[in-house]
A = this chain, B = another copy of it.
């Protein structure tokens, strides 16, 4: 089927430092554990309630994997855009299924929302968020850099809006 969309948008905090592996090809793959929480007041008891959801994020996109590896730490707050994938594996001869948010290729995004990588503390130096945004966009950007993005006029030249 074409005409389908599979998109996940998360804003949350890392529950642990990123975990880095390598594909046989040498490409880095980064796994993140991200928590999102919601709070609400119970309608019956009136008390404050909270629910935390944990998400598995897998980054295949090389540029984003490097960003994650270099700038994210336990506690970092991130914005993520990826897609849902469920994979099957076995445990004691029994099928298991794991659903992950995959960042791969176009239409994947990772943006740091704190400039500090606050959290674990034992982090070392991993720069600021600016260097990442730039590097990622370099590889995907397509607008001709020398031409203006828009020219006056458009669909209705006389009454352009």
Kindly report how many copies of this chain are found in the complex they form together. Answer: 4
Most buried by B among A85, A114, A141, A146: A141
CB <8 Å contact, A142 and B62: yes
Q: List, in ascending order, chain B residues with CB within 8 A of A44's CB.
A: 145-146
CB <8 Å contact, A106 and B104: no
Q: Does any Cβ of B come within 8 Å of A72's Cβ?
A: no
Count the A residues whose beta carbon is within 8 Å of the partner chain — how many?
Answer: 100
The contact string, 1 if C-beta is below 8 Å from chain B, for chain A 132-161, is 111101101111111101101111000111
Alpha-carbon distance A85/B10, docked complex (angstroms): 12
CB <8 Å contact, A6 and B144: no
Given contacts A7-B9, A130-B2, contact A58 B140 (CB under 8 A): no
CB <8 Å contact, B9 and A85: no
Q: List, in ascending order, chain B residues with CB within 8 A of A40's CB.
A: 134, 137-138, 141
Alpha-carbon distance A13/B6, docked complex (angstroms): 12
Alpha-carbon distance A143/B154, docked complex (angstroms): 33
Given A2-B129, A58-B150, 18 more pairs with CB closer than 8 A:
A1-B12, A3-B111, A3-B115, A3-B133, A5-B36, A8-B9, A9-B9, A11-B11, A42-B145, A56-B154, A61-B142, A84-B84, A84-B99, A85-B150, A89-B160, A91-B94, A99-B99, A105-B141
